[in-house]
Structure 1
Amino acid sequence: MPHLSLGNPNPLEVDVAVVGAGLSGLSAARKLLDAGKTVTIFEARDRVGGRVLNRKLKNGGVTELGAAFVGPTQDNVLALASELGLAIFKEYNSGTNLAYFGDRRVEFPSASTVPPLDEVTTTEIGTLIFELDSLAATIDVEHPWNHPNATRLDSVTLRDAAHSIVTTNDGRDVFDLAVETIWSAESDQLSYLYALAYIAGAGNETTLGTFERLISVNGGGQESRIEGGTGLLPNGLADKLGRDGILFNNTVQSISRQASGKYLIKGSRKSVTASQVIVAMSPPLAGRITYSPPVSAKRAQLMRRMFMGSIGKANAIYTSPFWRETGFTGQVIDTVGAVRATYDDSDDAASYGAILGFIQADRMKALDNATEAEIQELVGKDYMHYFGQQAADVEEWAIFRWDKEKYSGGGPTALAGVGTFQRYGTALKKADGGIHWAGTEASDYWPGYMNGAIRSGERAADEILRGADLV
């Protein structure tokens, strides 16, 4: 395999420059290197992985501060894990889940997708899920903006569409909780067309995407985890490529086409000249780069209009997963606490216990300026409310706020509100001359997930290898 090429004070010339050393950029670089191309990767951080990040715990374990789960139909990420020899284990999902509606507590079996409520609410939620899945099945994941009703669907918020079917307060609360756990945004921030395309993408070429797959553990996107943490994926891939060709701490400032037709990619420390460029970043972050000549008007609008979700993770580490002893899974949804949803994040051997809580959307924004101690206190109260006084005996906290990350600006993915996806969605993947677009948002299947990141990087590399513009 050819080596990646280091930059130097006098810009080195390579075939392709890749901007971003997350799973998307690394996957693109690998495909290009395998085809004999010379490649340089720019990375603003001092590490690979982007929104995939491990943290070592004091007890010797590992927790994921970013993307954490894998599941059925996520073929690309599962294949990478297999190639790297990483073991996969099932997320703990045996016993009883909890739901809190204010002070009201509802227990329900882990086999159920949503908590049981009154007959009207249960019927309406079932009707809504059927509607979402049925409409998503009519979406072309490659070109969702070409749907016959795209203009109408893109003019409606996901909340308005859902609330036209679900009329009870409990039903609306449950749905809005589900939306926050998927997108880390409020349902009135999202275009209905965008949400339907996202649901359609929760599958593969032979399996239709469904809303249930996005929110479920068994058979869903939260079914499994990787032993040693998902951070092993980008790091293992980077090791295969060779880290000497990744320009760390080198933020791309501008991408300019020269008189020769080649591109000068100017970094904060080093620059490179390349025949083609892959920008493997979320659209909002890609919009921070100066392009000369300017990118298409559609691409410029897309980068301005898409926005990042708001998410934080609060992981409490215990000596053991004590909640299992009383028959609980560790999974909770809550309409009023600082935490919206929790999962059991203990290791596969249960040698220690861990409860992972997601702080999302408006709740995360409200805590962006809080101290870590304040977040620990708020989340700790939630965990004691859910699991009893034993939850106060936290050995270690692992708290991370993606909103405060300069080179992420939020997570888990960039989102589209009304009036964006139908008008400007084609610019997610359509190349601007020799500039190609990747990043998980630019994937057909599993956008917003690690699988989508890998797919989009490989697709962008294929464009270059085929010498074809994406239409």
Structure 2
Amino acid sequence: MTHDIRTSVAIVGGGLAGLYAARRLHALGIDFHLFEARDRLGGRILSANDQGHSSNDGFDLGPSWFWPEMQRGLAALVDELELETFPQYSDGDVVVEQLPHEEPRRYQGMPQAPQSMRVAGGTGAFIPALSKTLPPEALRLGMRVRQATLNNSEVLLTIVAPDGAEHEVAAEHVIFALPPRLLASSVAFTPGIDSATAILWRHTATWMAPHAKFFALYRQSFWRDAGLSGTAQSQVGPLVEIHDATTASGMPALFGFLGVHTDQRAALGEDALTQACIIQLTRLFGPEAGRPHATLIKDWAADPLTATADDRAPTGHPEPARIPWVNGVWKNRMFLAGSETSTIAPGYLAGAIAAAERAVHELHGSRK
């Protein structure tokens, strides 16, 4: 085993929470190393082009929206990073599909309140904006933490590199910036986590984990020309909720959340799901919807760095909980910063910022 990294703080997880925690530590002059299991930063934030690859002008396969009036901390970060934003398109009528043998019905749309906002280029724009302010040598990709050991005054992390080699990292503190349920299933602890805390972690649902999104990309936003907002609700499926996904740069698209259970999605396969979604969009928006030039599906339940076996059933956003996420001998050595641990908007982008802020505040206080 290679013993090659010693740092004040090890951050595990390179999504929005991990990067924001790194930004706060850097501002406080506390050295850190961040370890991300994927070969990219961003976690559940993924803005992709028409080929499904990460893009600086893409479609949001993960979270899409934020609400500045309700999520002041996230709105402040948007301003701080000088990111451009634009409102979710909602002008025009809404289509509703209730029964399989009835024609979809068209209803007058209602103004959004509060207004949903999107980030120009996709929410993926957060990632380079944050990472470029951090020391590049402190950001390690393809590094999967498999074990954490408390050894007197330090935490030892056993990390598996892309080539399979194991490395040991010694840190005074560790911030786990990933969902508690994923942490419980992927990292072994010595000494073990107390049973009450382990149960809490496993019972905390991971937002996005059971869900899948489908995108149909077009050359023209024909639904807008027809006076439609692109919003649709369906009790027939396979898509249950559909919205306009046109980018700020003008690339037309519709996207929807699949209402098909995880197991059924896996049994049907991506090709059958894609065909069923296109047929449905044609029913809802007319024949032009049946001719996308590209389609995208992101099934988060099939992503082992997001979902666990406990995430197979659909869930809503986690409920805010003002409870300690770490107890016993690990207290003041380990801190959780996944969005699901936030008391503000858990599971949302805003929750990631709030949870990371809290974790860094607690860590900094423990060092005094």
Question: TM-score, with normalisation over the residues of structure 2?
Answer: 0.87
Pick one of 60, 68, 74 that aligns with 2:64: 68
Residue in 2 that maps onto 1:459? 358
| Counterparts in 2 of 1:384 and 1:416: CA distance versus 1, 3 Å | closer
Superposed, 1:93-108 pairs within 5 Å as 93-103=90-100, 104=102, 105-108=104-107
Give how far 1:427 is off: 4.2
Residue in 2 that maps onto 1:281? 178
Please report the RMSD computed on the Cα atoms of aligned residues, expressed in angstroms: 2.8
- Counterpart AA for 1:53: L
More strand by share: 2
Residue in 1 that maps onto 2:85? 88
1:352 aligns with 2:247: no
Residue in 1 that maps onto 2:139? 246
Instruction: Check whether the contact 2:93–2:106 (CA below 8 A) recurs between aligned residues.
Output: yes
CA distance in 1, matches of 2:28, 2:96: 51
Residue in 2 that maps onto 1:392? 290
> Which whole-Å deviations, capped at 9, do the CAs of 1:317-374 have from their partners, x for residues lacking one?
111110111111000111121101111011235x3320011114x5344112433221
Residue in 1 that maps onto 2:199? 301
| Counterparts in 2 of 1:359 and 1:421: CA distance versus 1, 3 Å | closer
| Counterparts in 2 of 1:356 and 1:429: CA distance versus 1, 3 Å | farther
Gaps spanning 5+ residues in structure 2: where? 162-166
| Counterparts in 2 of 1:374 and 1:243: CA distance versus 1, 3 Å | farther
Instruction: Check whether the contact 2:261–2:313 (CA below 8 A) recurs between aligned residues.
Output: no
Residue in 1 that maps onto 2:8? 15
CA distance in 2, matches of 1:425, 1:218: 28
Give how far 1:381 is off: 0.8
| Counterparts in 2 of 1:414 and 1:257: CA distance versus 1, 3 Å | farther
User: Between Structure 1 and Structure 2, how many residues are aligned?
Assistant: 349
Give how far 1:22 is off: 0.7
Superposed, 1:297-446 pairs within 5 Å as 297-308=195-206, 309-348=209-248, 351-360=250-259, 362-409=260-307, 426-428=323-325, 432-433=330-331, 434-446=333-345
> Which whole-Å deviations, capped at 9, do the CAs of 1:121-166 have from their partners, x for residues lacking one?
xxxxxxxxxxxxxxxxxxxxxxxxxxxxxxxxxxxxxxxxxxxxxx
- Counterpart AA for 1:326: A
Residue in 1 that maps onto 2:159? 267
- Counterpart AA for 1:51: R
State the SS of the aligned residue for 1:315. strand
State the SS of the aligned residue for 1:241. coil
* More divergent stretch after superposition (16-25 vs 98-107): 98-107
Instruction: Check whether the contact 1:430–1:436 (CA below 8 A) recurs between aligned residues.
Output: no
Identity within the alignment, %: 25
Superposed, 1:70-219 pairs within 5 Å as 70-71=66-67, 72-103=69-100, 104=102, 105-111=104-110, 217-219=112-114
CA distance in 1, matches of 2:299, 2:313: 18
Gaps spanning 5+ residues in structure 1: where? 1-7, 113-216
CA distance in 1, matches of 2:344, 2:94: 29
1:233 aligns with 2:133: no
Residue in 1 that maps onto 2:164? none
Instruction: Check whether the contact 1:18–1:39 (CA below 8 A) recurs between aligned residues.
Output: yes
| Counterparts in 2 of 1:367 and 1:416: CA distance versus 1, 3 Å | closer
CA distance in 2, matches of 1:400, 1:83: 30
